[in-house]
Chain A
Amino acid sequence: MTHTGKRFPVRLNTRTDKVDMTHGSGGRAMAQLVDEMFVKHFDNELLRQANDQASFDMTAGRMVMSVDGHVISPIFFPGGDIGSLSVHGTVNDVAMSGAKPLYLSAGFILEEGYPLADLEQIVISMAKAASDANVPVITGDTKVVEKGKGDGVFITTTGIGLVPEGINISGDLAQPGDVILINGSIGDHGIAIMSSRENLQFETTIESDSAALHTLIADMVKAVPGIHCLRDPTRGGLATTLNELTQQSSVGMTIREDDIPVKPAVSAACELLGLDPLYVANEGKLVCICKKQDAEKLLHTMRAHPLGKQSAIIGEVIEDTHGFVQMQTGFGGSRIVDWLAGEQLPRIC
């Protein structure tokens, strides 16, 4: 399936054509879409093997694997699109183990009638994200569903990575006395998405923070190999991630509202919509838990990386049989930061 541009007599018209059922049928039309769209942009040696599987050699060690489905609406949003997001999301999930992400797979579910021009824009963005991250897409799949049975494009990516020797990072390793860090401001992604939803357009300069964090993590792991936990606070935001970690590790946490970075525009949008930034999604943030004596060194390392300039220590792990996350409010009181219940819905008056 080498991309030659010569195999099909008439080239795929990515300007005006739309996805139709033949693009998922397994026939010549699908082969052409794969060749002139996916192989063309994702181009790499392993993909060009053109088998049903990608084949590669591995060195010995501990592997990690993660899968992530992407169904975002709108597909294009300030600061990214479903393509770049599908690379960042999975690269980050793999990297949160401390692993070096190696390869990605990509499964596309396309809706009949979706413009090929938009699909190509997504694939180009995805290819760029993969290339920037140096984690190639080496195998893939395409299915087409009838119009009305999908929402344009869904992308599922799987990633694998190799954990460096001696690194053991896991959500159940937080210990009382540990320190909690974050690499920057929260809520940017969720607010960027909401600002571009059809029924909720408001003007904001906020862009999604969508980014691949593995190079930041590589620096962090190098500086402090004994990091206890890493997790990306995506859906459900920082609050949900901290609750997951307290539950896994059977500990409690205290955080300080004043120390959690939130951009003024995100605060303002949350205020307007009745949302709490603690529960708003991020796509380029990580929560890190480490021993107290490692915290300053780690903070220094994080701040030296472009994706960690705003890093901050936001709280501590404590002993608590109830597993509560408590917060010292900026106002001077305290409260629980609970799991998100349902969707975060705007208040009405």
Chain B
Amino acid sequence: MNEFILSLAPGWALTHASVLLVALPLIAGAIAAALPWGRAAWGVVVAVMAASLFFSAILTAQVLTGGAFSYTLGGWAPPVGIEYRIDGLNVGMLLLVSAIGFLVSLYAPEAVEDEIDKGKHPLFYAAFLICFAGLLGVAITGDAFNLFVFLEISSISTYALVAMGAGRDRRALTAAYNYLILGTIGATFFVIGVGFLYMATGTLNLVDLAARMAELGDNRAIQVGFAFIVIGLGLKLAMYPLHVWLPNAYAFAPTMVTAFLAATATKVAFYALARFLFIVFDQGFAFEELALVWLIAPLGAVGMIAASIQAIFQTDVRRLLAYSSVAQVGYMLLGLGIGTAAGVSAGFLHLFNHAAMKGALFLALGAASVCYGVTQVKDLRGLGRTMPWTAAAIAIGCASLMGVPGTAGFVSKWALFNAALDNGWYWAIAAIAAASILAFFYVGRMIQMIYLQPAPERGGEPAPALRAPWLVMIPMWILAAANIVFGWYADLPVTLANAASAAIWGGAP
């Protein structure tokens, strides 16, 4: 497969794929903003997404066959210049972000038509492209300050995207505002942390930073920098209890934005945290292990349970899933907190699988929202009859979310279970088990509404059955099918997750 992709790629793509991956959507964003027609802007988006997917596939194939490599921007060698560093840890993220971006962009026209003023369509697509470029930039860059810049690029465009949900529900504005304040605090914390590290080492290149900090040993500046970076990124990735911005942002943003953000944004921040925790900060630092055991893992476990309970009580269906996302982030953090190769690999596996579950679920809910205006859990009544295909996609996503054997969710929970067991962390196993049972309740509420309640009536007649448009059905079902396929043939996510842990601890990707 890898060889096949590499044989398809032209020479210029092989050498410049990494920079094109980020530059292309950035430039296209400007073009889309200038276009007068929404449809044309959408055409640009789909073309760029397809190209990006191809570039990430090339990069993945290169890393999986040839190992990590770096690309120096403008010919300035690192550590002075900025380098893009592609290794096992971030290549999976690049592939994930561009794949989800591509699938979501297919779905875009139907939803955007329905939810956003016609005049704003080009601007919406422009913001989407820029957010996309920012997320890829965070994942690909090998420079701490550059990482901050991309983090802000993606965040600021995200605030705009969330706010565009105001056409449907005015609460999107307050949600976006809240997100802006908190997101900015997070970014500020991160950049303060980077400042401390710069003060201590005099470099911003991540590889160089790691080497110099290892030489320098433990000191106060590094400790403070560490704390700021962990909390800053923790906020961005919705670590419980810093998740408060997330539920409203997900609930009131345009449906397509929710699907995209849920599957990518917190994931990229999670990746950044993993890189800082395990690669940039030397694992010999005493505070490192302490932070994993006393901060990351407990907050992960608490988040898993508390956010799941909160999800049970939600009435807005997207808020319900948003809380479930916070809980799933808890699983991933627990994986990081375990701190072994198996644990990190399990965390990343859950990250990929969770992207597939939540992507499918939010797209399906988007379809239900476009066709029937579904926003509340009780609006899902009878969806099994009125929109059987969409309902089936939701059911598959839910099954995967619960971790039913034969779905992707089971594979990653299983991996996490094993990683916790290897470490002898029985409390973590208990927490995973408890959170899985809680998931049954919130998922059960949705399933019960969909399949066991009669469809609502309109003028005495039961609501007519509708099929979502093809451009909605296809991406939704690709993601739903991924949940089943990865439940049986988990090769792709497992390879990527193992590559991530191999990038930290060495070994073949």
Q: Are A and B physically bound partners? A: no
Taking Cβ atoms with an 8 Å cutoff, the residues of B that contact A are none
